[in-house]
Chain A
Amino acid sequence: MKNKLASMKRRSALLFSVILSGILVLGLIINVIWPDRDHSNVENRPLQTFPALQLQSLEDGSWTRNMTNWFSDQFVGRNLYFHLNYLLKKGTGIQKIDDVYLGKGALIQEAGAPNEALMSQKAQTIQAFHARFPLNTSVMIVPTAAQIDQDKLPPFAPGAFEQQTIDSFYSQLPEDIHALDVGKTLEKNQNKYQYYKTDHHWTSLGAYHAAKQFLKSQGMEIAYSDYERMPVSNSFRGTLESKTGSVFLKDTIDIYVAKNNPDYLVTYNNDGNPVPTIYDDEALHRKDQYEVFFGGNDSLVQINLNTDSTRHLLIFKDSYANSMIQFLLPYYRSITIVDPRYYYDDITRLIESDMITDVLFLYNYNSFQTDTSLLDVLNSAIQTANQ
């Protein structure tokens, strides 16, 4: 009996070892001969290609590190393995991969812990900027899905704190700056499709609710029926899908075009090559379809509109703004959009040349309480103006 058991175990182990050796050797051959790709659509990032051997890189250890990354980045079937990983983790009851909650019908990115010191610093700098440039200034910090769609989080997921942090930030701003509490507005529409299920951005609908509130604070009323909704994609799989390898979820992207939309020209980064649209169709064939709005993030975008308005708006923003601007087009003479993460030029000159009358700071909670580039841009503007 014992012998028979041992013999069966032996045969099974032999079978396993032969197949596994085959897999390892084949895996090696396939991985080496398979052509390298330089970009991952699923992960939305450049991949490590085969590193050239140099004495310098050998000495400082970067060559071996890059080799290790090259092998895992170019691993054949990499995307499939991501999905398998997701299914296995989901199957064993895991409700969070990296910093993404696997919520009810949605992937929700965990909110970063509040950085009170940076928030206070930003409040002071915005105040100083406003004092130096006394324009009609508004601030809108948008809570993410982790705050608004709390009920979609898995059970026992730690409670939301974004609204509290934003409230405390607003309380540090002077009264003549419009602090727009967009959280309440989004909360009122909680059951609507305001955030993508597979991406960390808000949808155009979420952005519409915010735009309505912003314009109202500026004395302008808009209604949903003022815009025509056009679905441009129903196959959007965003950054959170990339991060988790989620299998079943996908999103729809709508654009909203005002029925009274004026003619306009958009100039990117002063390139002297204006285009008549804020949308980028080509992005719909890329992985990150959210880039359909402005083709992604640029340091400087200037929109000149054929309207009777006398107002010239300057927006400091992150990518949340990209889908909100479509709602503002009919109401300004020009809109100047600065993304401080990529902007190194002089803001004072821009304020003069674009005859800015209104300023809007538009960020989502996560990037607002981590990013410091806004401070650099504002401080250098204040300095230049004081000279």
Chain B
Amino acid sequence: MSFTSLLFIFGFLPLSWLASCAWTKKTSVQNVILLLLSLLFYAWGSIQNLYILLILIVWNYCSGLQLEQTQDMPRKRRLIFWSSVLYNVAVLAFYKYIGFWFGSILPQTQNIHAPIGLSFYTFSILSYLADLYLNKCPAQKNVVAFGLYVSFFGKLTMGPISQYTDFEQYLKHRTISKDRFAHGMDLFLKGLVKKVFFADQLALVFAAMGNDSSFLGAWLLSLAYTFQLYYDFSGYSDMAIGIGYLFGFEIPKNFDHPYIAKSVQDFWRRWHISLSSWFRDYVYIPLGGNRVSKEKYIRNILIVWLLTGIWHGPNWTFVIWGLYYGLLLLGQKFLFQKWIDRLPAAVNIILTFLIANIGWVFFSSPTIMTAFSHLGNMLGIGISSFASENALFYLSSYWLLFVFAFLLCGTLYEKIEKKIFLLFSKQAVIGVGVFKICVFVMMVAYLVSSTAQTFLYNAF
């Protein structure tokens, strides 16, 4: 079930809240209900996927108990830890990569599709195993609590990837205050707007520019994707975190205005924060982090970014994209930092944005060749014309959306809201609240019409 389906917003979400939080304050009871609801949420898309999720929950719950029981047997413990990790990684690799690796030899493997969210909840599970192995936390004895950690419907399908030590406390005890609830609703709306108003519409531009080889078309294509991806993913994350708040979980933010980052390093502190923290805590630091020789440091960075690339999907474009960032980060550390310090902030922001934009060209292209030809078109190489009719039409239709997308990816909205509160105080309290309700109704209009199916050809 998608967060942006009407059934979720007006059905599943309010019903879940009423079923779990409205009548009991007992966290343990809520956990049972929320686990069942989360499994229902997951089964909604496909029952087969539910089996995989259940198997992973039970397997890793048992591994956790075993890890705890073998505290005094380091060799056995290590064996259990690594075999569990391998098992999870093998499941992930089987579903996500096997069709890509063996598709040409074994065509039937091309029909294997990864269950939705597998990459995200596998990483949550690995975080649990690692935290446990490093003695950062005790094993979770309660299978319901463990199941909820893995499968809470707010974060199940698209993250944020939670780390077990952050999440553990909420499995034991949660409270829902009015303010937490209000904050959750706020974030949910914010995410809804990002997804429905921005991402879904920018996706239309992206789709329409796919085969456009004019200079303007190439830029529209890459900018549409750059903004679409941000609004889509950060919108979904906002909704997920908002849902977390509604049910008493405080999930840390996943995006922090990445397109106003002043360097590549800064960008990665703001983009998909839960993923980069995961790689930092479970790959980079265990490899020695930056407290090693220069050679090893370079190796560590490249490993982390190679894995980050591969995590995103089975395609060489993701590998290139990961290594691109690995090399840029090394470049920043050893070569460019002194220039970055001297340049004005605005220049750094623009440069970082362009770097991200070029990165997304690789990320979004089906093959490396199309990525390079798209980049060529953006530089005026191999273009069919300066501006195609198609590109001009979409620019004239969507320029306002691009302007808004550009303005609102920074902190402008927060600043305006603050100004309004300071200027109008009391009226603003009501005004801003009512404004948000109107925005919600507008988003519902977008959602309802996106379910339109007029069978036009039948009517001919």
B440 partner, pick from A13, A23, A370, beta carbons under 8 A: A23
**Complex alpha-carbon distance, A61 and B1, angstroms:** 12
B106 interfacial by beta-carbon distance below 8 Å: no
In the complex, chain A residues whose CB is within 8 Å of the CB of B179: 10, 13-14
In the complex, chain A residues whose CB is within 8 Å of the CB of B448: 72, 75, 78, 81-82, 85
**Complex alpha-carbon distance, A11 and B302, angstroms:** 48
Contacts A96-B397, A158-B389: A71 and B185 contacting too (C-beta < 8 A)? no
In the complex, chain B residues whose CB is within 8 Å of the CB of A82: 445, 448-449, 452
A21 interfacial by beta-carbon distance below 8 Å: yes
Q: Check A59 against B47 for contact (C-beta < 8 Å).
A: yes
Q: Check A85 against B449 for contact (C-beta < 8 Å).
A: yes
Q: Check B429 against A8 for contact (C-beta < 8 Å).
A: yes
Q: Which residue of A lies closest to B14 (CB)?
A: A24
Shortest CB distance B180–A (Å) = 10
Shortest CB distance A87–B (Å) = 9
In the complex, chain B residues whose CB is within 8 Å of the CB of A9: 417, 421
Q: Check A16 against B185 for contact (C-beta < 8 Å).
A: yes
Q: Which residue of A lies closest to B431 (CB)?
A: A12
Interface residues of A in 1-30 (CB under 8 A from B): 4-5, 8-17, 19-21, 23-25, 27-28
Contacts A12-B433, A17-B182, A45-B454: A154 and B393 contacting too (C-beta < 8 A)? yes
Shortest CB distance B343–A (Å) = 32
Shortest CB distance A110–B (Å) = 11
Shortest CB distance A359–B (Å) = 21
A147 interfacial by beta-carbon distance below 8 Å: no
B291 interfacial by beta-carbon distance below 8 Å: no
Q: Check B389 against A156 for contact (C-beta < 8 Å).
A: yes
| Most chain B beta-carbon neighbours within 10 Å: one of A5, A14, A155, A157 | A14
Shortest CB distance A299–B (Å) = 14
- Mark A67-80 against chain B: 1 for CB-CB distance below 8 A, else 0: 11101110100100
Q: Check A71 against B430 for contact (C-beta < 8 Å).
A: no
Contacts A13-B185, A93-B399, A95-B397: A239 and B459 contacting too (C-beta < 8 A)? yes
In the complex, chain B residues whose CB is within 8 Å of the CB of A242: 454
A232 interfacial by beta-carbon distance below 8 Å: no
B6 partner, pick from A61, A72, A85, A96, beta carbons under 8 A: A72
A85 partner, pick from B9, B395, B433, B445, beta carbons under 8 A: B445
Q: Which residue of A lies closest to B451 (CB)?
A: A72
Q: Check B442 against A61 for contact (C-beta < 8 Å).
A: no
**Complex alpha-carbon distance, A24 and B44, angstroms:** 21
**Complex alpha-carbon distance, A9 and B452, angstroms:** 37
Shortest CB distance A72–B (Å) = 4
**Complex alpha-carbon distance, A156 and B436, angstroms:** 35
Interface majority SS on A: helix, strand, loop or mixed? Answer: helix
B47 partner, pick from A20, A58, A154, beta carbons under 8 A: A58
Interface residues of B in 98-114 (CB under 8 A from A): none
**Complex alpha-carbon distance, A23 and B436, angstroms:** 13
Q: How large, as a class, is the contact surface on chain B?
A: 35 or more
Q: Check A12 against B429 for contact (C-beta < 8 Å).
A: yes
Q: Check B47 against A13 for contact (C-beta < 8 Å).
A: no
**Complex alpha-carbon distance, A371 and B444, angstroms:** 35
B15 interfacial by beta-carbon distance below 8 Å: yes
Q: Check B14 against A28 for contact (C-beta < 8 Å).
A: yes
**Complex alpha-carbon distance, A199 and B21, angstroms:** 50
Contacts A64-B44, A85-B445, A156-B389: A71 and B433 contacting too (C-beta < 8 A)? no
In the complex, chain B residues whose CB is within 8 Å of the CB of A17: 178, 181-182, 184-186
A162 interfacial by beta-carbon distance below 8 Å: no
- Mark B417-460 against chain A: 1 for CB-CB distance below 8 A, else 0: 11001100110111011001100111011111101111111011
B401 interfacial by beta-carbon distance below 8 Å: yes
**Complex alpha-carbon distance, A19 and B390, angstroms:** 43
Q: Check B6 against A88 for contact (C-beta < 8 Å).
A: no
Interface CB pairs A-B, < 8 A, 27: A5-B421, A8-B429, A11-B429, A12-B428, A14-B182, A15-B433, A17-B178, A21-B14, A23-B437, A24-B9, A28-B11, A59-B47, A67-B7, A71-B7, A78-B448, A82-B452, A85-B446, A92-B400, A92-B401, A93-B397, A109-B456, A157-B393, A200-B456, A245-B449, A297-B460, A319-B460, A367-B457
Question: Apart from A81-B445, A319-B460, what 12 extra A-B contacts exist at CB < 8 Å?
Answer: A8-B421, A14-B179, A19-B437, A24-B13, A44-B454, A71-B7, A84-B442, A88-B446, A157-B389, A158-B389, A200-B456, A367-B460
Q: Which residues of A approach B to under 8 Å, CB–CB? A: 4-5, 8-17, 19-21, 23-25, 27-28, 31, 43-45, 58-59, 61, 64, 67-69, 71-73, 75, 78, 81-82, 84-86, 88, 92-96, 98, 109, 154-159, 200, 239, 242-243, 245, 288, 297, 318-320, 364, 366-367, 370-371
